Chains A and B, each alone.
Chain A
Amino acid sequence: MNDDSLRLVWVYPDLLSTYGDQGNALVVERRARQRGYDVTRVDVRSDQPVPASADIYLIGGGEDRPQRLAAERLRRDGGLNRAAANGAIIFSVCAGYQILGHEFINDLDRQEPGLGLLDVTSGRGQAGRCVGDVLADIDPQLGLPQLTGFENHQGVTHLGPTAKPLARVRFGHGNGTGDGTEGAWNGNVFGTYMHGPVLARNPQIADLLIRLALESAGLAPVDDRWYEALRNERIAAASAAH
């Protein structure tokens, strides 16, 4: 990338934007601009090619049929896989997270191939939907504070050997496997079940994505007063509910 510009792609808002997913794009955009970086955000609809040359890709949550359509179109397009091969940062949520894996169960109850960018495989849980506030400890290797989010899914995601859990839940279900893991990451590719949107609840993750894109060790501080107030409230609420 150029020194002071950041190219951000929001993948398929026409299909995968059911849970306020635009928020993740807005938070990355805002926090990069606040640091003086020039941000170009491109919202790529599912009838358009995904450019392979951007820095950060965000892919969100959606309903079951749109998820299948998104997987079909992303496989056919190949842009996101090329971007990953270029070392791009990819951050995915819920349905988008499942799409990045090897396969998931689609709306027709069949196995749908994913993009294979994360070593995870998703199915559908037998218990009811996982709905509610979540609190989790993020992989210490990432050096980030606790993860707070809202989950609303019926998915169960199993991690293969090259995927690391993004976090371990204190309260909530996360990957739904019963082992306490939530989300997955490997290199520059991240997946989570957390809504909220997750980057509004965890601006430090947004900053991590920006740092990875800039290959920078640190970012200038910004006014995090309201984010911190919200985080504290939601962490307390998740604790009180369990």
Chain B
Amino acid sequence: MAGNTEPLSPRSKLAVTAGKAAAAVSRAAGKGSGSVIGGKVALRLDPDLLARLAGHLDVVLVSATNGKTTTTRLIAEALRASGPVVSNALGANMPAGITSALAGGSEARYGVIEVDEKYLAAVARDVTPKAIALLNLSRDQLDRAAETRMLAERWREGLSGNKALIVANADDPLVVWAASSSPNVLWVAAGQEWKDDAWSCPSCGGVLQRPGEDWLCAECGFRRPVPGWALSGEHVLDPHGAAWPIRLQLPGRANRANATTAAAVAAAFGVHPQTALERMWEVTAVAGRYDTVQFGGRDLRLLLAKNPAGWLETFSLIDPPPTPVVLSVNARGADGTDTSWLWDVDYTRLTGHPLYVIGDRKLDLAVRLEVADQSFRVCEHIDEAVAAAPPGRIEVIANYTAFQDLRRRVGN
């Protein structure tokens, strides 16, 4: 499916060059990778640049509330079995960042692109993707993001009639609602531990029934589709019923779910599940996430969890008690400034772990843990928490900017 290799127009070339120059200036000024500013400059000069850059690629889009960066990496790694890949691997997932990433991949055959949930419909229209992977939708940054159900509705409107193969999670009713208006859907039973954004039927508003792993609306008949692919324990089940072992360096059920979706996407491009899954072993820390680092003479595993669904999945992958756990929460712009979501997380799951609380909003966490009847210690910073923690690897769970603070401090 290698696309045409029609060269870019002089205008597009100029836009790419100007974008790279702007990015270089931004880097020189110490303002990060410059990919976003570079993309913005380039798009200003050539508004159709994203479509043009994608024109010669087989494009896969990946969107979700959680897991999109990791899944993008897994798909990219799997597709490399079949040809060169360009990807926005650093998580710059809005149009400017995507443009910047694609501008750096003129030799690639595949473009594997993580897309912010709010931009999915627009990007899907611009780049004519061959496949779109939809993992999950749940509450996130409620002070500034659209309502979760409205997001599903926008996906549905934006994707209806899109000819791409939609690879969608059958276990998330909001994702099923978003995908089911499309003509070409491959359902994956990837699971979804968090259920509190989908108790009412996305179609009619009835109360969803959830017998076992199934879900259905008794009022309108909207129900879980029959999946072609499934995550089953440590294996991926393909549509023929064959089981392929998952071997990942990344921990947890959620990452096995991401690998399952990635294997389904890769198979659509002719990559055998065994090949795809073996290649995924190569994916280790994604932007510092899941990385184990040495700090203060101790091993710290850094875990990013941005919202209730993410915290729930993270609790299920940490080492058992008495492993010490550090929790860090901020509420800056990129995190969402409302901390109410802490009360959607079941902190009784941490019973038995020595707990240390840091971050801008450590007092919100302190009250939350007090009400959950947990013992904990409030610390000023990670150094104090690490010094106080009993022996053993320390699990550190942080939300978005708290995670960035942490990486800066522990030198990761």
A residues near B (Cβ < 8 Å) are 13-15, 17-23, 26-27, 30, 45-47, 63-66, 69, 131-132, 150, 152, 195-197, 200, 223, 226-227, 229-230, 233
Contact = CB atoms under 8 A, between A and B. Distances in A.
B147 A195 contact: no
Contact of A152 (B338, B364, B370): B338
A45 B339 CA distance: 25
A68 to B, nearest CB: 8
Contacts of A196: 339-340
Contacts of A65: 149, 205
Given A20-B340, A69-B200, A26 B363 contact: no
Given A17-B196, A227-B367, A229-B363, 4 more contacts: A18-B139, A30-B373, A200-B343, A223-B370
B142 A200 contact: no
B162 to A, nearest CB: 25
Contact of A23 (B148, B343, B363, B373): B343
Contacts of A197: 340, 343
Contacts of B139: 18
A17 B342 CA distance: 13
B338 A195 contact: yes
Given A65-B149, A195-B338, A18 B343 contact: no
Interface in B119-148: 139, 142-144, 147-148
A229 B370 CA distance: 13
B207 A20 contact: no
B205 A200 contact: no
A228 to B, nearest CB: 10
B337 interface: yes
Contacts of B148: 63
B268 interface: no
Contacts of A15: 199-200
A18 B338 CA distance: 12
A14 B370 contact: no
Given A27-B371, A131-B337, A19 B142 contact: yes
B329 to A, nearest CB: 12
Given A46-B207, A69-B200, A226 B338 contact: no
A17 B338 CA distance: 14
Interface string B321-343: 00000000000000001111111
Contacts, number: 92
B366 A14 contact: no
A208 B361 CA distance: 26
A14 B338 contact: no
Nearest to B366: A226
A62 to B, nearest CB: 9
Contacts of B339: 20, 150, 196
Interface residues of B, number: 31
Contact of A63 (B147, B206, B337): B147
A64 B147 contact: yes
Contacts of A132: 337
8 contacts: A14-B207, A17-B196, A19-B341, A20-B339, A21-B343, A23-B340, A30-B373, A230-B363
Contacts of A21: 340, 343
B64 to A, nearest CB: 19
Interface string B196-208: 1001100001110
Interface string B342-379: 11100000000000000000011011101111000000
Contacts of B370: 223, 226-227
Contact of B342 (A13, A20, A69, A131): A20
A20 B364 CA distance: 12
A26 B371 contact: yes
A66 B149 CA distance: 10
A14 B199 contact: yes
B371 A18 contact: no
A196 to B, nearest CB: 6
A69 B203 CA distance: 13
A66 B199 CA distance: 10
Given A30-B373, A200-B367, A229-B366, A195 B340 contact: yes
Contacts of B150: 63
Given A15-B199, A23-B343, A69 B368 contact: no
A229 B342 CA distance: 17
A20 B311 CA distance: 14
Contacts of A230: 363-364, 366-367
A45 B199 CA distance: 9
Contacts of B366: 226, 229-230
A30 B340 CA distance: 18
Contacts of B363: 226, 229-230, 233
B196 A152 contact: no
A30 B347 CA distance: 14
B371 A30 contact: yes
A46 B338 CA distance: 26
Contacts of B338: 19, 131, 150, 152, 195
Contacts of A131: 143-144, 337-338
B200 A66 contact: yes
A23 B367 CA distance: 10
A208 to B, nearest CB: 17
Contact of B207 (A45, A200, A227): A45
